[in-house]
Structure 1
Amino acid sequence: MDKQKIFEIVYFLKSKKGFDFSGYRLQILERRIRKRFYYTNTENFHEYFEHLVNNPSELNNLFDVLALNVSHFFRNALTFELLRKKIIPDILSKKKLHNENNIRIWSAGCANGDEPYSVAIIFKELLDRNETNFQIDLFATDFDEKSLNEGRKGIYKASSLKNIKYGILNKYFVAERDYFILNDEIKKMVRFSSFDLVNEHNRFPSESIYGGFDIVFCRNVLIYYDIEIQKLIFDRLYNSLNHNGYLILGEAENIIEKYKYSFKRENNYCKIYVKSD
């Protein structure tokens, strides 16, 4: 592995595109950059760097492979089942008790929108069933504008819908050829915007104006970054949450040492945590 040349490639990409992937774990950078060797007829990082410098169009290809997000609706079904049956009903009950009717959710690293739309569907089902009038502010952010645009369109391949029950699929999607189109009612519940979690100058998504979130999703984002960048991200997540707000991580992720006493685990099955101080 040529560590120096890998970071030269990453910093060159930053200078041209403005996105900094230097906080990614080295093994991830190596693996994803190598994917471009075959398509550029290069055999090592030195050759690839020269190709990148001499072929500006490759910058977009490299960005796409580094920013690659894999997701689908209701990914990790147990997490969403707990949201539907326990966590969201608990939030609704507490809001009613305090005469509050606004619920704020942030999906950080939302990719193509599968996650925030899954949350929106759950809220829509629960609120309709209980005939309850709540204002749901659901913010979805990513640094990849291409993914955000795909999310705004709400058009998905069948592979993205493999965890959806037929009743939900039939109710909220329209099939058209090889794609499924999400209905406008759900799309209007989610506000997409560009936000870089590792940019230390931005505390909250500009669309949200302030933090005060009841639930923050940050699933399968931290695993890409080294510990120093994770600390920066956790500072942001912690400060964005209300007291007793829920932080939902990916199954391979954990609360970092600095915050291990600031969150308590909600259950033994999923990486769902409650802000406790």
Structure 2
Amino acid sequence: MSFFSSQPLGLRTTTPLTDKEFEELRSFIYQLAGIDVPKQRKYLLENRLRSRIIELKLKSFSEYYQYLRHGADRKQEIEVFCEKMTTNETSFFRDQKQLDVFRDSILMPTLDEQKNSGRKSLNIWSAGCSSGEEPYTLSMMLHEILKLGIIGWKIRITANDISSAMIEKAKQGLYNDYSLRNTPKDIIARYFTKEPGGYRIHPKVQKNVNFQKINLNDTAALKTIPRSQIVFCRNVIIYFDLAMKKKVINAFYDNLQPGGYLILGHSESLHSITNIFQPVRKPGGMVYQRME
């Protein structure tokens, strides 16, 4: 997501964002998606929305707020608004050390347990998947572990995001060099095809991933996610206030099967949020397990 620090020549500028307008827009995004914009980030909201207001030929942030609430195209504009207000900084194999620990200490033992029980099925939920790099990474990891044996498995990676644009990009499966900056060259060779527009993810990787637009603030929608053995939600809850964090974490707990794991970003923690999960310390950081 880009930041707007200057205006293109020839376009009229809007009036500065007032405190009242900030509170209106801040409340709107919170009610919509549970995203909390702190007062000290007022400039961020202003910079991200200014170019859109100019594009719509509106005169103020107040007019834009009314447009979001009552405009004829409000549903489409809310999509744009969510896109502007969310950060989509991601890449394949992001935080490799954490992924290595996840593979060795959680994923492989879970696969062994499922295989030994005769079920050979695995459900993973990638919550806040952005443009798809994380769930596709998980699919590639499963291919690397199971190799041709993956054919005998029923694997479903449910990947969701609030942004329709990000979901569509993920479904297309076409990525640039920047998305692949952390990806080993041998992995690129095995799972991507070079095209004029970038790198195309292999269909066998896509097959395991089901993308859908879901708002983490929508309790009813979250209940439609298949029960999972593993939930990934990295670098998402940092944008929520305490009440929203508790709401989302409770939804993850309800979704997880007993003994399942919740994986947060390496700098995120459930400390002071909830004690419904059992913290499990691993060499690369903390993970959380549903014990009952």
Q: Normalising by structure 1, report the TM-score.
A: 0.84
Deviation of the 1:262 alpha carbon: 2.5
Inter-CA distance 38–189: structure 2 relative to 1 (3 Å threshold): same
2:252 equivalent among 221, 230, 237: 237
Q: What CA deviation, in whole Å up to 9, does each residue of 1:142-182 have, x standing for no partner?
A: 12111111100001111011111111101111112351111
Q: Which moved more, 1:165-174 or 1:94-103?
A: 94-103
Structure 1: 5+ residue runs without aligned partners?
none
Contact 2:278 2:288 in 1 (8 A): yes
Gaps (5+ residues) in structure 2?
Answer: 1-16
Aligned to 2:42: 30
Residues 76 and 118 of structure 1: CA distance in aligned 2, closer, same or farther (over 3 Å): same
**Matched AA of 2:165:** K
More deviation, 74-83/103-112: 74-83
> Partner residue of 1:76?
95
SS at match of 2:60: helix
1:50 aligns with 2:59: no
CA distance in 2: counterparts of 1:21 and 1:232, whole angstroms: 12
Aligned-pair CA distance for 1:24: 1.6
Q: Which residue of 1 aligns with 2:203?
A: 184
Please say if residues 250 and 271 of structure 1, whose CA atoms lie closer than 8 Å, have aligned partners that are also in contact.
no
Give the C-alpha shift of residue 184 in structure 1.
Answer: 0.9
2:24 aligned with 1:8, yes or no?
yes
Q: 1:225-261: per-residue Cα shift (whole Å, max 9, x none)?
A: 1000001001101111112211100123111546335
Q: Residues 73 and 114 of structure 1 are in contact (CA less than 8 Å); yes or no, is this contact kept in structure 2?
A: yes
How far did residue 219 of structure 1 move?
A: 0.7
What percentage of aligned pairs have identical amino acids?
23
Alignment of 1:223-262 (within 5 A): 223-257=238-272, 259-260=274-275, 262=277
CA contact (8 A) 1:28 1:224 kept: no
The 5-angstrom pairing of residues 90-101 of structure 1 reads: 90-101=109-120
Q: Residues 10-61 of structure 1, C-alpha deviation per residue, up to 9 Å, x if partnerless?
A: 45679xxxx71454242486243121365356xxxx9322355469687655
> Match of 1:146, SS?
helix
Superposed displacement of residue 114, structure 1: 0.3
- The 3-state SS of whatever aligns with 2:200 is strand
Equivalent residues, number: 266
Q: Give the counterpart letter for 1:179 in structure 2.
A: G
How many angstroms does 1:86 deviate by?
3.0
2:81 paired with 1:62: yes
Q: 1:94 to 1:51 in 2, by over 3 A?
A: closer
Q: Following the alignment from structure 1 to structure 2, what is the Cα–Cα distance between the partners of residues 236 and 28?
A: 29
1:142 is aligned to 161
CA distance, structure 2, for counterparts of residue 233 and residue 77 of structure 1: 25
Cα contact 2:279–2:286 (8 A) shared by 1: no
Quick one: distance in 2 between partners of 1:67 and 1:97?
41
Q: From the superposition, tell whether residues 61 and 28 of structure 1 become closer, same or farther in structure 2 (CA, over 3 Å).
A: farther
Q: Describe the shift of the 1:175–1:27 C-alpha distance in structure 2 as closer, same or farther (beyond 3 A).
A: farther
Deviations 1:181-214 (A, max 9, x none): 111111111001121111233343x3x4x42x11
After the TM superposition, which of the residue ranges 215-224 and 87-96 deviates more from structure 2? Answer: 87-96
The structure-2 alpha-carbon separation of the partners of 1:33 and 1:62, relative to structure 1 and needing over 3 Å to count, comes to farther
Give the 5 Å matches for 1:103-114.
103-114=122-133
Q: Tell me which residue corresponds to 2:170.
A: 151
In structure 1, how many angstroms separate the alpha carbons of the residues matched to 2:41 and 2:112? 45
Q: What TM-score do the two structures reach when normalised by structure 2?
A: 0.80
Cα deviation code 1:61-94 (max 9, x no counterpart): 5332112321111111112112333321101121
